[in-house]
Structure 1
Amino acid sequence: MRFRAVLLRAGSPFAQLWFRIRKPTTFGVKALVRHADGRFLVVRHSYADTRRWALPGGGYKPTRETPAEAAARELHEELGIVLPPADFAVLDTTVTTLEGKHDTLTILTAVAPADAFTLSPEIAEARWVTSLDELGAASVSRWLVKALG
């Protein structure tokens, strides 16, 4: 499992270079998962910027699944959290070119009935927090800030 994380980290610069050259159109989701007690889930990915706290999520093909289905799939793949797509509500949809690609990003939210999770190789660390202040001086994703705004 650790080997997969190393491969993800090693391949990330090549993916970013490909995005800058090809400028593909992509679709992604980010999931703000809340717990009934007011906490929310943040993750640090094992690839790209490994120091930055962010929301779980990833890419999807809109011809194959909806943003809610993609968010449910990504949460299951990355953290072992099972939530039905119907539990997700869209917070925002935005178009960004931050990574050199034309990305339509949908931020969704859902409430998790439990706080248990299992890390996949894509996730270096995950934790439930009540505010961003609990992360100290660590870097925080703009999408995480936007989701909480």
Structure 2
Amino acid sequence: MTEVFSAGVLVYRRGTAGIEVLLGHMGGPLWAKKDASAWSIPKGEYVPGEETARVAAAREFTEELGLPVPEGEWIDLGEVRYGSGGRRKTVTVWAVEGDLDPAAVVPGTFEMEWPPRSGRLSVFPEIDRADWFDPATAQDKLGKGQRPFLTRLTESLG
């Protein structure tokens, strides 16, 4: 089984209605018409030993959103492991309080063959939009493997 390591930063803010979290909608044609389970904590892969999970989390946040991680205390939300199809993923996430404007996001890009079997490489944004959600709404937006981080954040903030 192949093991992949990923790290990210979940930015949250406090409002009159409680906390909200900043999520990114996954970019590219495979996610374009999906909403439920199509959003993600800004994160990405790294190789242990080449960089730490925390350094990777900050790098990936900036690569995906085009913005630095807000200044502030990093709250360790731990790891979640999940897998399918012969691939196991370990995701490590921290939370940081901040108030970023989703309109300021300038996402990084990736290449993939599109349309399938066309032989043409097309460029797509890592995320095609970002937005703030209360934790209950974010539970529906996030993929199942990332949902435990929301619970850990709300428990941590009391």
Common fold: TM-score over 0.5: yes
Q: Structure 1 residues 26, 71: closer, same or farther in 2, change over 3 A?
A: same
Deviations 1:23-77 (A, max 9, x none): 3222112321112443211111114851212211110011121111111101100
Percent pairwise identity: 26
Match of 2:142 among 137, 140, 143: 140
Distance 2:70 2:135 in 1: 26
2:88 is aligned with 1:107: no
8 Å Cα contact 1:68/1:85 also seen in 2: no
> Which shows bigger deviation, 53-62 or 83-92?
83-92
Normalising by structure 1, report the TM-score: 0.68
Shift of 1:91: 0.6
Normalising by structure 2, report the TM-score: 0.65
Distance 1:118 1:132 in 2: 27
Q: CA RMSD in A?
A: 2.8
Q: Matched residue of 1:97: which SS?
A: strand
Aligned to 1:10: none
Q: If each structure's helix is expressed as a fraction of its own residues, which one has the higher value? A: 1
Residue correspondence of structure 1 range 1-149 to structure 2 within 5 A: 23-37=1-15, 38-47=19-28, 50=31, 51=34, 52-83=38-69, 87-98=73-84, 100-115=86-101, 116-120=104-108, 121-133=125-137, 139-149=141-151
Shift of 1:114: 3.5
Shift of 1:113: 4.9
Deviations 1:102-145 (A, max 9, x none): 3222122112254343233111221112244379xx65312442
Q: Structure 1 residues 130, 73: closer, same or farther in 2, change over 3 A?
A: same
Between structure 1 and structure 2, the one with the greater Rg is 2
Q: Structure 1 residues 93, 36: closer, same or farther in 2, change over 3 A?
A: same
Letter in 2 for 1:110: V
